Structures are given as C-alpha cells and as structure tokens.
Chains A and B, each alone.
Chain A
Amino acid sequence: MRSTSLFWALAVIGGSLLLFAAVEIVLMVVGPVEPTWLILAFPLMGLTYGATGIEAWRRRPSNRIGLLLVLGAWCWLLAGLANVEDEVLIVVGQLAATVGIAVIVHLVLAFPPGRLPDRASRWISISAYVTTTVFEVPLWLFNPSSPAMIRDHPDLDRLAHWFQRSLGAVIFVAFVVVVVRRLMAAPPPARRVLAPLLGYGVFTAVMVPVSANVLPVLVGIDPLTLATIQLAVLMVVPLAFTLGLLRGGFAQTGELVELGASLGADLDRPELAAALSATLGDPSVEVGFWLPGRSRYVDAAGRPLDLAVGRERRRVDIDVGGRPVGVIGYDATLLADADLVRTAGRVVAIAIDRQRLDVELRASYEALRTSRARIVEAGDAERRRIARDLHDGLQGRLVLLAIRAQRLVDRVGPGDARDQAQEVRFGMDAAIEELRALVHGVMPALLIERGLEAATAELVDRMPIPTELAARVRPLPASVESTAYLVVAESLANGVKHSRADHMWVRLDVIGSELCVEIRDDGVGGAATNGGSGLRGITDRVDALGGRVDVDSPAGRGTVVRVEVPCGS
C-alpha cells in the first residue's frame, strides 16, 4: 500500500475506533454500570488493541499482525456492550468477547510473519473462529436466562454447552501442541525471544475461558475480581506482541525464503531494493550496487549512492567471493539484529552480482558491435582506396603505355615490327579493360561519385532480365551505401544465375532511421541464406552494421531478399 493511502486508511480506522469507544462510554454511563472503572475497562482495552494494531500496521504494512490487532480491538470494544442495558447488545457483547479469544489464537499462530504458515495452524484458527461464533449460538437458544431463548430445554442446553466446551478443549490442546512444536523447531536465538511471547499468548487464550468456567467453581472467586484479572491479562497481549514485532529480534526465515524465491525472477535494481525492503520490513532500507569500473556504489536509479546518516542508521556490506557487490543501509530501531540484515544481504548478493554481470555483458556486447562496424567501414575505406589507386595510378600508366604503343605503330613503317607493336597495343587495350572490370567489382565508380541510387540504377539497367527499380533514398553513410549496393548486386546476380525468373524488382527506402532494401524475383524460389558464400558474406556485413537480413523463398513462388540497415539519424 502506498504510504498516503495507508495513512488515510489507518486514520479512518483509528477515528472509527475512537468514535465507537466514545459512544460505548456514553451508553454505559447512561447504563448505569457498577463499578465506575468498569465503564472504561473495555473501551480502554479496545483502544489499546487499536493503537498497537495501527502502529504495527503502519510500521509493517506487509505484515498482517497489525490487522489482527485491530480486529481484536473491535472485538473488545463490542465486548464492552455486554454491560449495557439492552438484551441484544448484551448477546453481541458476550459473543464478541469469545471471538476475541479466537483472535488471540490466530495472533499467536500467525506470529511473527503475519500469515498462518501451515495447514494445522489454519485449521486450528478456523475452528477457533467457528467455535466462538457458530457453535456459540446454541448456548443462547435453550437457556431461560438468555434473551434469545427459543425454547426452554435444559437437556439441549446442557448438550450444547458440553459440545462447545469439548470442541474448545480439543482446539486448545491442538493449539498448544502446534505452538510447542514450532518453538522446538525454531533456532535457539529465535526460540529465546519467541518462547515468552508465544507462551504468554497461549496462557492468555487458555486462561480466560478456563478461568471463566472453572475458577468460580473451584475457588469461589468474586466475578468482579475475576473480570479484573482477565482484563489485565488480556491487556498485555497487544503491547507485548507489537513490541515483539517491531523490535524484530528473530529470524524472519519465511520471508527470507520468499525473497530468495522471488530473486529467481529477473529483477532490476529498483525491484530488488523494494523486495529487500519488504522482506526486512524496513521501508527506509537503502541498497547500494557496486560499480567496479568506477569503484563506488550507486543506488537503484544508477546515481552515486549517499547512504543516509543518523543515530540509528547502520550499514551492512555485501560481498561475493571477497569482491564488494553491494551495501545495505537500514534503520536499527526497526531491525535490531544485524545478522538478519546480513543474511538478507547474502540472499540478494547473487542477484546483485548478476545485475553487474548483466551490465558488463551489455557493455562488452556494445563494444563488440562497434568494433565490427568499424571493421566493415575500414574494409570499405580500403576498397575505396584500392579502387582509386588502381584507377588513378595503374590505369593511367596502362593508357600511357597504350598510347606509346600506338605511336610506335604510327611511326614504324609496315612490317613485322609494326605488327608486333599493334599486338602490344591490342594487348594493352585488353589489360585496361580487365582492370576496369576489376575496379568496378571492387568499388563501382558510380557508387563513389553519385551514390547508392545512381549506382543501383546503372546496375539494374545492365541486367539481362528486365528489372525495375523503385528508390527513395537520401545520401547515407558510405559503409551503409556500399553494403546495400553489394546486397543488391549479389541478390540480382543470384537471381539471374539460379532463379529462372522473368522479372526482378529492386526497392530502396529510408524508413525512420533505417535503410530498407528489397529484391524480388518471380522465379522458382528455394533459395537459402546459407547457400552461397556471397550471401553469407553479406549477411555478416549487414549484421556487423547492426542490421537484419531476411530471405523468403518458398519453392515455386519466387524469392524476396529483405535487408534493413540502421543508417544513423
């Protein structure tokens, strides 16, 4: 529950308790009730349960002990109505008092986690509630002194009493057995704290009904004295249990186990900090995560951590295998036992460390990706350089040689020498032509000079199969353009070689921050991505630039090669 809505809910509960108490007091004053201090007894008890319950609820929102105490508060406030002069209200009041005992049974069984941990506890608790409500009713039906009598039937009345008492006894025995077993199973430090508390709870739950039924017969005690003793005993319960809950001096093993289980899910830092805070029951828990690269702690939001200071603030360092991994700052008034925090820390240590691994993995993946992209770009720059050097340097030299050969042909008279010179000249032409083709294969001039769209248009033009181009692109980074061009060239070449298509289509689009290239043909299909080494090389290249290659080639229905490459802004 968020703290503001919790605050208002608790304020409403507190307010209504106070209101009811006030009304009750007025009713009792009007009563009248003897002796006068009794007027205040039940309201006081109700408010004690209420105040401690609200405080426990506020401080431990995820723990139901607070709720139980508030329930108890209502029971005791209602129980006070037994002193009012109204037959119905008297019945209500006496009923409420017995339910109050059942609440204490529930409280003891659910302490400290606030939940009934096993089936036995649940059965006992349910039985206690049922016995004090449903099975209480018959006691009012056949007794003449009861305002709700339907028939005077002493036998049924005795039966009802016997039944209820027997059931109550069975429940109590089971109750004591379960509590004793739990205490035996608890680790010694926890047992030391739990035993007195639970013991007192059991004593109260057993003593009040037993004393009401047995003592007057055995000892002949004055009813007022009995009531006083009972009220005093009952009053201590909420104070003791709330104090025990808030001091938290015992291991909340159940909650820690839950924390461990929840860490199986992939929690991010804020979720982790919240889970820890909920488990420890301290909303002011701060978790710091160690950043090895920067040698300091950051909080759940990734900002540098500033652990709160204060008289009651303590910290526990968490490490894994000797390496610092995290730190927990907590409120020592809520968590008196540093061992508990340390244990919780150990539980989350692995999860925190995994966070760190996650971040490191992501960073190294990013570094890998950028390095691959750089390799592709470096390769392109190299190719460009080779193309230019070959073009500018070597081709120029060859052309010059061809010219010299031609001049030789022109200068020399007809004869063998001239024929040979002519041969040289033709040879030069062939060499120049081969060089031109080679340069074009390495990096087409048009791609460098005019960009992707122009180079693709030229490529498409020279296809032996009719090919259409639809292009809507702006100037893009060089490596993106070269990669796209290679994709088109390779796919078209594959199409011509293998697809037996009648028609091919090429589409270039810039969508958002990605270049989309699509090459389609209406051929026989059945192409595979890992088929030719050409397409695989391109897949690697596209992948290195952070793009995707998709080949869809159902047999008999043509081939579609789709490539998307991010192109920056």
Chain B
Amino acid sequence: MRVVIGEDEALMRLGLTLVLEQGGIEVAAVAGDAPTLIAEAAAHRPDLVITDIRMPPDNSDDGLRAALAIRVAQPEVAVLVLSQFVQRQYALELMSDGAAGVGYLLKQRIADIDGFLHDLKIVQTGGTILDREVAGALVERARRTDDVVEALTPRQRDVLVLMAEGNSNAAIAQRLEIAEKTVVQHTSLIYDRLGIAESDAHHRRVLAVVRFLAR
C-alpha cells in the first residue's frame, strides 16, 4: 500500500510514520498544508490519503476540504481523516457523496497500532470506518429523539454502534464475545426496524445506518 500523508505537526508526523513503517506501508509523500496535499495526491496517485482535518493555511477544516476535493478528482483514492475531536458534522460531510473507501478517526487511535493498520486496510479496500466516539454519539442522540432506536434493547444498540463504526459481523462478534450467528440475528432485526435494505457490503451498511441515525 502506498499512502500520502497530510500533517503539519512534527510529532504527529513522526508517530504516523512509525506506525506505517511497522505495517510495512510505503509513505510516498508528506504534505504540510492543504494545497500541497492535493498536489502530492495528484502527483503520486497513492492507494490511500491520510490527513489531519485541521491544516494550514486557514487552520480550520482545510484538511477535510482537501480530502473531499481529492475524492472528487481521484475517486479511486481512499481517504482517512484524523481529528482531535470527532464531530458528527464532519462524519456526515465525508460520507455525503456515498462513495466507498472513507474513514474518520480520532488521532489518538493511531497508538492502537494493530487496530489502526487494520482500519487502514478496510478503508483502502473500499470499506468505511467511523470512530467509535462518533458512532456512539450518533446512536445516543438517536435513542433520545427516535422511538425506533429507543425501542431497541441495549445489546441491539451496541450492535448498532458497532455497525455504524464499520465493523463486519465477524468483528462485531469478536468485540461483543458472542457468536456470529447471534450477530446476524441482531443485524437482521435492525435492518428491519430501521427500514434499511440488507447489504453485506460494509460501506453501504455504514452509510445506511449513519444516514438513518443522522436524520
């Protein structure tokens, strides 16, 4: 896998490089601001772009907008954005074009090296990853405002959160320490209740769940 990184802060850059090194991933270029990131992505045509949301020149959400621009210009490139505080709106914006291969994580998740590399793989192969913080916040909010979600059992809500995170059924089973068959039971019921079409493709599932939760 070849990646292009967008990060202006030296220590974070070092951390990312170490983690990617451990995963045997090649870093094609490192950009220190949003315009350079777009240029490097165009020049190197990586498999994946990893970028901080907050980048120069404006230091507001330049990185996010650069990522969205790259997705338009180069749809085959997967994108993972990192942020210090996960916001629901950023997640929705990232997923607004409905395409696959997008991820949104808190910066500190990269310290969980194995988990992070695993997430990279998923995103690069067209999956969708949402940080469990934002997934949890989405479900919690839905629980308060939506009767359908309110009516789910706590266990079913846990499954829903994990679905929103972008986990496969197997991963959900592992996390909750239950059988995969049970997971399938839960997900079927959830599809039914939420009115979502059944789909195995992870990103479509995440998309559907998040769309439902965010309305």
Residue ranges of A at the interface with B (Cβ–Cβ < 8 Å)? 388, 391-393, 395-400, 402-407, 410, 425, 428-429, 432-433, 436, 439-440, 444-446, 448-450, 454, 457-458, 461-462, 466
In the complex, what distance in Å separates the CA atom of A406 from the CA atom of B15?
A: 11
Say yes or no: A429 contacts B108, CB within 8 Å: yes
Partner of A399, one of B12, B60, B141: B12
20 more CB-based (< 8 A) A-B contacts, given A396-B9, A400-B11: A388-B59, A391-B84, A396-B10, A396-B12, A399-B110, A400-B14, A405-B111, A407-B22, A407-B113, A436-B84, A436-B108, A440-B85, A445-B83, A445-B84, A449-B54, A449-B60, A454-B87, A458-B87, A458-B88, A461-B141
Selected A-B contacts with CB under 8 Å, 8 pairs: A399-B11, A399-B108, A406-B112, A436-B84, A439-B85, A446-B85, A449-B54, A458-B87
With A402-B108, A406-B111, A432-B108 as given contacts, are A457 and B15 in contact (CB-CB < 8 Å)? no
Main secondary structure of the interface of B (DSSP, over half): helix
CB closest residue in chain A, given B18: A403
As a 0/1 sequence over residues 73 to 114 of chain B, the CB contacts with chain A under 8 angstroms (1 = contact) are: 000000000011101110000000000000000011011111
B61 interface contact, C-beta 8 A: yes
- Return A534 CB to nearest CB of chain B, in Å: 22
Partner among A400, A404, A448, A458 whose Cβ is within 8 Å of the Cβ of B60: A448
In the complex, B19 has a CB within 8 A of chain A: yes
Known: A425-B111, A458-B88. A392 touches B15 (CB 8 A): no
Question: Chain A at the B interface: mostly helix, strand, loop or mixed?
Answer: helix
CB distance B85 to A436 under 8 Å? yes
Number of interface residues of B (CB under 8 A): 31
| Residues of chain A within 8 A of B12, CB atoms compared | 396, 399-400
Q: Are B113 and A410 in contact (CB under 8 A)?
A: yes
Q: Determine the chain B residues whose CB is within 8 A of the CB of A448 once the complex forms.
A: 59-60
Q: Which residue of B lies closest to A467 (CB)?
A: B144
In angstroms, Cα B110 to Cα A439, docked, is 19
- The residue of chain A having its C-beta at the shortest distance from the C-beta of B89 within the complex is A454
Shortest Cβ gap from B170 to chain A (Å): 23
Let me know if A410 and B53 touch, CB within 8 A. Answer: no
Question: Contact at A444–B113, with CB atoms within 8 Å?
Answer: no
Minimum CB–CB distance for B28 against chain A, Å: 21
Say yes or no: A450-B61 contact (C-beta < 8 A), given A400-B11, A403-B15, A407-B22. Answer: yes
Q: Within 8 Å CB of B83, what residues of A?
A: 445
- Min Cβ gap B109→A in Å is 9
Q: Any chain A CB within 8 A of the CB of B137?
A: yes
Alpha-carbon distance between A446 and B61 when the two chains are bound, in angstroms: 9
Residue in B107, B110, B137 whose CB lies within 8 Å of A462: B137
Closest to A406 in B: B113
